[in-house]
């Protein structure tokens, strides 16, 4: 039950997003490169293990799906959805940046 709408607390959730190109503002990045540490989350405004910038890395690294497209699949585990408000941020850690920073807010229901 990954594509539940509305998102449910303590249930796996997936969302597809696009990342804006850093070099071509206003255009989505084709086949963006995602690396460990690019995707982090907080639950109800609190990080459990205080990773980079006070957030935790996502258990599952977001992936370009389908391959070589502009779509990025973000998957959150049931434990990552254990809150009323889930914040996800994607920040390209490379220099120069390939894509712009992005944030997603997910409000859950019980």
Does residue 6 sit within a domain?
Answer: no
In a domain, 5, yes or no: no
On the question of pLDDT at 108 being above 70, the answer is yes
**pLDDT at site 56:** 87
- Residue 1, in any domain of the structure: no
Boundaries of domain holding 44: 13-107
Quote the number of domains for the chain.
1
Domain annotation covers residue 80: yes
pTM of the predicted model as reported, rounded to 2 decimal places: 0.87
Q: Please report whether residue 92 resides in a domain.
A: yes
Residue 58: inside a domain: yes
- DSSP one-letter string for 32-66: ----TTSEEEEETTB-SS--GGG-EE-SS--EESS
Decide: residue 31, CB within 10 A, 0-12 exposed, 13-18 middle, 19+ buried.
exposed
| Assigned domain for 4 exists | no
In a domain, 28, yes or no: yes
Residues 5-39 have pLDDT tens digits of 799 999 999 999 999 999 999 999 999 999 988 99
Q: What is the pLDDT of residues 40-60, one digit of tens each?
A: 999 998 876 545 555 689 999
């Amino acid at each position: 039950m990954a594509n539940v709408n509305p998102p449910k607390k303590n249930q796996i959730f997936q969302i597809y997003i696009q990342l804006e190109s850093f070099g071509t503002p206003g255009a989505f990045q084709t086949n963006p490169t995602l690396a460990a540490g690019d995707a982090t989350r907080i639950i109800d405004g609190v990080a459990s293990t205080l990773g980079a910038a006070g957030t935790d890395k996502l258990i599952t690294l977001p992936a370009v799906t389908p391959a070589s497209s502009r779509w990025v699949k973000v998957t959150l585990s049931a434990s990552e959805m254990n809150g009323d408000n889930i914040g996800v941020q994607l920040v390209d850690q490379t220099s120069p940046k390939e894509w712009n920073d992005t944030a997603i807010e997910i409000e859950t229901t019980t």
